[in-house]
Chains A and B, each alone.
Chain A
Amino acid sequence: MIFGRKKTLSQPVVSESAPREAVTHQETGEPRYSVGIDLGTTHCVLSYVDLQDEDASPNPQIMPIPQLTTPGSVEEKNQLPSFLYQAHDAELATADLALPWNAQPPALVGTLARNLGGKTPIRLVSSAKSWLCHGGVDCYSNFLPLNGPEEVAKVSPFEATCQYLDHLRCAWDQHFPDQHLVAQDVTITVPASFDPAARELTAEAARQVGFQHLTLLEEPLAAVYSWLESSGDHWRQQVRVGDIILVVDIGGGTTDLSLVAVTEEAGNLALNRLAVGDHILLGGDNMDLALAYRINAKLAKEGKRLQPWQIQAITHACRDAKESLLSDPDVLDVPIVVPSRGSSLMGGTLRTELTRQEVEETLVEGFFPRVSVQDHPAQQARAALSQLGLPYAQDPGVSRHLAAFLSRQHSAAEELLGQPGGSFIKPTALLFNGGVLKAPTLAARTQDIINSWLTDAGAEPAKRLQGLDLDLAVASGAAYYGCVRKGKGMRIRGGIASAYYVGIESSMPAIPGMEPPLEALCVAPFGMEEGSSVEVPSREFGLVVGDPVRFRFFGSTTRREDIAGTHLDYWEPEELDELPEIQATLPLEGRSPGEVVPVRLAARITEVGTLCLEAIPREGSERWQIEFEVRDNP
């Protein structure tokens, strides 16, 4: 597979359907709605709040999204599955693809895309979001579906993201014909663990669709905002100064962790985001698959061999069966029936059951094992950067990932709360989010494990904060955040959850057989807030005009003290994570090729919430942006 080297955007991906002229008529006006978009790995949800509503407490509404559910039939659902299907010309009648806003939509997304892809996976684009933060690929190059044959039209993860957003835009514009989505205050959520490049790609996709007032928000924070919104003024009774809230968000495809501290500011409670976890590709889909393979193994023992479509049907059936087993302690087993594909139901129908014991062994023990807080997942080799395919978590033990996160962040609260670290940070409250933790058994188990660590360390058990709709909270929280930005509620402080560094090779005499040691220069310190900027003092780089220069790029979620310009010549391997390289290109304008221009680096957090690195020449007032999206194979 060949990945393009350059950011190439073929043509605008947004559909032509909606009246474009209407977009301009209100550009001058204030946005009427605050819209939250949960752009999930498996589902998208859209929620909104009317900003003109003078009601003291904003109440986010979920907008049902019209989408094709079968050919020719359009249904409204709260969730839009994040799938794109590249149909064959002969596969579907054109008339059957009509959407309320466009008789010939440019892309097939949502429920029908997912269902068709179930039977024809070679044409299904899925997990575009996970690709956005994958190090080894250029997200503007067209390579999805990954294993599709040559003749299947390929799209880039970037374009797939644009298509999901564009579907939401059209759905909104149809619902609110006078208030186009692009002119509203839009907050899109991203995983807390998204690196700067992935955030920039998400923001760029939103700009491509036309959003004019855009903000990015971390998903676990959106969940906290949703909790603030749903508890009204009661949240102040549920937490007190010194509390550390651990947000555990286990969705369909990813697990996202964050820590939020409750502090005091001028006599009022304030919330501060302390730390975020790594990007863990582990979620509910893994669990359904694990159950399906368990049943597959059971049937294999009985001498029945399953075909791929049957395994897939079992995966679906397991999803429902799992939910009833995990929510009702009286249910001991749930039948799993896979009807034959043919019109005869009697002959080929396969019947088995999923028992409580199987679910507990596979899910509860497999994904939430009782481990000690010292028990961490095996360190993944960074080879993942170059391998093709998504870097799924190797260790399915959510509890081990949790233990690793809490241990790694052991000192995160020292500065803010003055609490001594110990070997791991001790949360006092838990906020759960994501479809997986809807199951009471799994939520209770997670709480149990964390509390056993706390008890062993002599700390009080953590309490659970209640009141979230685990599927829709992120979108609602994002819509609410739009109101918070307008001053109608409590803002969680935190800034960026990672410090960023560029790698510099030390200038020292060359020694044969030895790589020059690498040093790291901090360019963006931990906790930089939106709209702020720093210049990196003390160090100049010579950039060659017209010649792209690459820097190695690192992030650290634990080095909180480094300021811009801090020079590291030594660090522990787990302290700095290497991110994809970044690239600076000085345009030729007014200079001769080959000229060396001394520049300093500066970092800025945009209002949108993305990191922007710039090169500033010693003379003149120009600034050149340093690109993140250079993930091609050099």
Chain B
Amino acid sequence: MTFDLTTFDLTAMPTTFDLLHLILAGAALLFLILGVTKRSGSSADAAAPVSHAPSSVSDKTLTPEPEPESTPEPAPALLREASPEAALQLLSLLQQEARLIDFVKEDLSGFSDADIGAAARVVHEGSLKALNSYFTLVPVRDEAEESQITLAEGFDASEVRLTGNVVGQAPFTGTLVHRGWKVAEVTLPKLAEGHDARVIAPAEVEL
């Protein structure tokens, strides 16, 4: 898995929809869910600010812990068990608001781009509504993309990823490729004790 939160960018949503973009958009959302929910832990504590950057998700859970070279025996990494409740809750919210599961699970071959575009509006509008309702998303860097920025010594490596010609010591000067996204605040609905979160969309029977 090589996706992390920074690949999700609402402003980069294509204005005209084609199949590839849609699948990309769907996949990006799905990874956002996985990324955010793995970090956010128990859903009951909904108001807990996650200021310590979900962008560090990839460091902790997706890339192997760097092995200290001095010790021959690798120390056991402390990996936390993510609670599935919050992940399931977010899936449920995105299904309710945006029909995300319906959309991603559907076989799109054989449908015209116009049909897919109409459905994509449902997913896009709903996802945006859900994201805005439950997350306060802010860019990690406020500078314009493609501009030159300088990173002072001691910058937060979990917030800024260095790529390319990574040599020498800070301060580093380079081009801001992506501004990054950070969740400043999460306010997920609280779940009842006996609520079965695995049912993300109940079957509906009209009488």
Contact = CB atoms under 8 A, between A and B. Distances in A.
A71 interface: yes
Interface stretch (A91-99, A133-141, A588-596): A91-99
A98 B118 contact: no
Contact of B106 (A93, A103, A119, A345): A345
A69 B189 contact: yes
B195 A73 contact: yes
B48 to A, nearest CB: 15
Contacts of B106: 343-346
B192 A96 contact: yes
Interface residues of A, number: 28
A146 interface: no
A349 B122 contact: yes
A72 B191 contact: yes
A95 B194 CA distance: 5
A361 interface: no
A70 interface: yes
Interface stretch (A334-342, A389-397, A602-610): A334-342
B194 A93 contact: yes
Interface string B137-152: 0000000000000000
Interface in B90-109: 92, 96, 99, 102-103, 105-106, 108
Interface string B110-144: 01000110110111010000000000000000000
Of A69, A75, A341, the most chain B CB neighbours within 10 A belong to A75
B96 A346 contact: no
Contact of B193 (A69, A98, A119, A346): A98
Interface in A417-467: none
Contacts of A66: 190
A37 B196 CA distance: 35
Given A345-B119, A346-B111, A339 B192 contact: no
Contact of B195 (A72, A75, A76, A345): A72
B115 A96 contact: no
B62 to A, nearest CB: 29
Nearest to B107: A346
Contacts of B202: 71
Of B89, B106, B190, B202, the most chain A CB neighbours within 10 A belong to B190
B204 interface: yes
Contacts of A75: 189-190
A371 interface: no
B147 to A, nearest CB: 29
Contacts of A344: 102, 106
A339 B190 contact: no
A351 B189 contact: no
Contact of A73 (B103, B111, B192): B192
A100 interface: yes
Nearest to B47: A76
Contacts of B123: 345
A73 B189 contact: yes
A98 B192 contact: yes
B123 to A, nearest CB: 8
Interface string A62-95: 0000100111111110000000000000000111
Given A74-B189, A98-B192, A351 B204 contact: no
A119 B202 CA distance: 14
A349 B115 contact: yes
Interface in B41-97: 89, 92, 96
Binding site secondary structure of chain A:
mixed
A335 B15 CA distance: 14
A119 B99 CA distance: 17
B121 A337 contact: yes
Contacts of B191: 72-74
A339 B194 contact: no
A73 B89 contact: yes
Contact of B96 (A70, A93, A96, A351): A70
Contacts of A76: 187
A103 B195 CA distance: 12
A349 B119 contact: yes
Contacts of B116: 346
Nearest to B203: A343
A100 B106 CA distance: 38
Contacts of B103: 345
A71 B196 CA distance: 10
A100 B190 contact: yes
Contacts of A70: 92, 96, 189
Contacts of B189: 69-70, 73-75
A45 B97 CA distance: 24
A341 B105 CA distance: 15
B195 A95 contact: yes
Contact of A74 (B92, B102, B192, B194): B192
A343 B102 contact: yes
B121 A335 contact: yes
Contacts of A349: 115, 118-119, 122
Contacts of A74: 189-192
B204 A339 contact: no
B158 to A, nearest CB: 30
A100 B191 CA distance: 10
Contacts of A98: 192-194
A357 to B, nearest CB: 21
Contacts of B125: 337
Nearest to A309: B206
A95 B202 CA distance: 15
Contacts of A73: 89, 189-192, 195
A73 B199 CA distance: 13
A415 to B, nearest CB: 52
Contact of A346 (B92, B108, B195, B196): B108
Interface string B12-24: 0000000000000
A543 B146 CA distance: 90
Interface string B165-199: 00000000000000000000001011111111100
A343 to B, nearest CB: 5
Of A74, A346, A349, the most chain B CB neighbours within 10 A belong to A346
A339 B99 contact: yes
B98 to A, nearest CB: 10
A435 B204 CA distance: 33
Contact of B192 (A72, A345, A346): A72
A155 to B, nearest CB: 22
A94 B206 CA distance: 21
B119 A339 contact: yes
A96 B194 contact: yes
5 contacts: A69-B189, A74-B192, A93-B195, A335-B121, A337-B118
Interface of A: 66, 69-76, 93-98, 100, 103, 119, 335, 337, 339, 341, 343-346, 349, 351
A-B residue pairs, 6 tightest by C-beta? A95-B194, A72-B195, A75-B189, A351-B118, A98-B192, A73-B189
Given A337-B125, A346-B116, A351-B121, 14 more contacts: A70-B92, A72-B192, A72-B196, A73-B192, A74-B190, A98-B193, A98-B194, A119-B206, A337-B119, A337-B122, A339-B99, A339-B119, A344-B106, A349-B119
Interface of B: 89, 92, 96, 99, 102-103, 105-106, 108, 111, 115-116, 118-119, 121-123, 125, 187, 189-197, 202, 204, 206
